Structure 1
Amino acid sequence: MNLASLPSSGRPDTAGPLELDHAALQRVHQHLDDGAVTPAIGPWAADIVRLLNGALATELVCVLRYKRHHFTATGLNAPAVAAEFMVHANEEAAHADRLAARIVQLGGEPDFSPEGLLDRSHAGYDVALDLKSMLRANLLAERVAVEAYRQMIALVADKDPTTRRLLEDILLDEEEHADELAGLLEQ
């Protein structure tokens, strides 16, 4: 449809006015104990919590991997790379905190249990001792995280805009991490 075919209002003739769903606004008066979970998100809340707990596990595994690499990195370039590993570990921990807070807002329980952590995580843990292998393992994990966040964003889409924005913010950081690690590998 081109703009010339639109009526003077700028909308197609079949489009109704933009109005809020007043019945939905009235339904939010029910179930006040549900907090941020309103009727519109209610059908999706459990699935979103499950996705977020998978992301939480991934972030926790990434924190552990980055910290291990920070403390065990050796070699000529190790001090600078190890410092970057700690920066990434702290950023991943902040992601985990944000995910856990959102899980609670949605009425769920963040799963911090170490039991099954690797099974819930999208990324793996690594015990490499040489710097290049550490960089590769972290880059691989970041690439996995980027893909997982992209998929979660598509799944959540308009079902939960708040969670979608959170995931988009974290995705931006994960892409930055991947770029930084790729640059370090080239040195």
Structure 2
Amino acid sequence: MVESQTSPFVTDLQAIRHRVLEHLEEGAFARDAPYTVATTLRLLNDALATEIVCVLRYTHHALSTAGLDSEAVKAEFGQHAREDQEHALRLSERIHTLGGQPDFHPRGISSRDAHPSGADPHPGDRLRESLLAKRIAIETYRDLLRHFANHDRTTRRLLEDILQQEESHAHDMHAALVAHQRRCSRMN
């Protein structure tokens, strides 16, 4: 009785071993569906471009924001720049693991930025712009999660981690914007 219960499992392992051996020269991942891998790499490079642009934008905002309440806003932008840099590194590592090349070319980055930056120097406007960018990023990551839900669990987990932090960033940006608006209304 025990033998019949283990035989199908052993047979399945033998079938898996046979399939893997047929595609061993392809590296760590079988390329059963090249379109899926190519699409995955394109989508991850698009997400990478958005994260890189956010790092640049938030670094610029952290360095150039001025005004009576600028220190809190600067600190918020600086923290988000560092965290988005970590997102970019993690996305780059995943792209590399899948056999692709992370696209760091400036032209490619700007053409794939999901939310171009405005040029308004006021902290409140920068916070609004940043909240908008975060909301766009959240929706983009949610779309990506739907795409990867059933065929790439590793990428899905990476995107879930990034989405969780992006949602936290949006909450922080909203709280900073509300606090900024309160300070401004008290001054008027």
User: How far apart, in 2, do the equivalents of 1:73 and 1:185 lie?
Assistant: 14
- Count residues in correspondence: 171
1:168 maps onto 2:160 in alignment? yes
What TM-score does the superposition give when structure 1 sets the normalisation length? Answer: 0.84
Task: Looking at secondary structure, tell me which structure has more helix per residue.
Answer: 2
1:123/1:32 CA distance change after superposition, 3 Å: farther
CA contact (8 A) 2:52 2:88 kept: yes
CA distance in 2, matches of 1:70, 1:35: 43
Which of 51, 74, 89 is 1:59 aligned to?
Answer: 51
Q: Which residue of 1 aligns with 2:143?
A: 151
- Deviation, structure 1 residue 118: 2.1
Contact 1:71 1:82 in 2 (8 A): yes
Tell me which moved more, 144-153 or 111-120: 111-120
Question: Does residue 36 in structure 1 map to residue 28 in structure 2?
Answer: yes
Post-superposition shift, 1:46?
1.0
How far, CA to CA, are the matches of 2:70 and 2:10 in structure 1? 59
Q: Is the 8 A contact 1:138 1:181 kept in 2?
A: yes
- Quickly say closer, same or farther: Cα 1:35–1:69, change in 2 above 3 A: same
Kindly state the Cα deviation for residue 173 of structure 1 after the two structures are TM-superposed.
Answer: 0.4
| Amino acid in the other structure paired with 1:113 | H
How do 1:43-122 and structure 2 match up within 5 A? 43-122=35-114
Per-residue deviation, 1:122:
1.5
Stretches of structure 2 that go unaligned for 5 or more consecutive residues are: 1-7, 180-188
Q: 1:84 offset after TM fit, Å?
A: 1.1
Match of 2:178 in 1: 186
- Please tell me the residue identity of whatever aligns with 1:54: D
User: Residue deviations 1:138-159, cap 9 Å, x none?
Assistant: 1010000000000001001111
Give, in whole Å, the separation in 1 of the partners of 2:112 and 2:50. Answer: 7
User: 4+ residue runs of structure 1 moved beyond 4 angstroms?
Assistant: 17-21, 39-43
Unmatched runs of 5 consecutive residues or more in structure 1 = 1-16
TM-score (norm 2): 0.83
* Higher mean C-alpha displacement, 38-47 vs 52-61: 38-47
How many angstroms apart in 1 are the aligned matches of 2:76 and 2:133?
15
1:137 to 2:129 alignment? yes
**2:99 counterpart SS class:** coil
2:138, 2:166 within 8 Å by CA — same for their partners in 1?
Answer: yes
1:42 shift after superposition: 5.1
Distance 1:91 1:176 in 2: 11
- Partner letter of residue 55 of structure 1? A
Report the equivalent of 2:120.
128
- Structural RMSD (CA): 2.1
> Is the 1:142–1:174 contact (alpha carbons within 8 Å) kept by the matching residues of 2?
yes
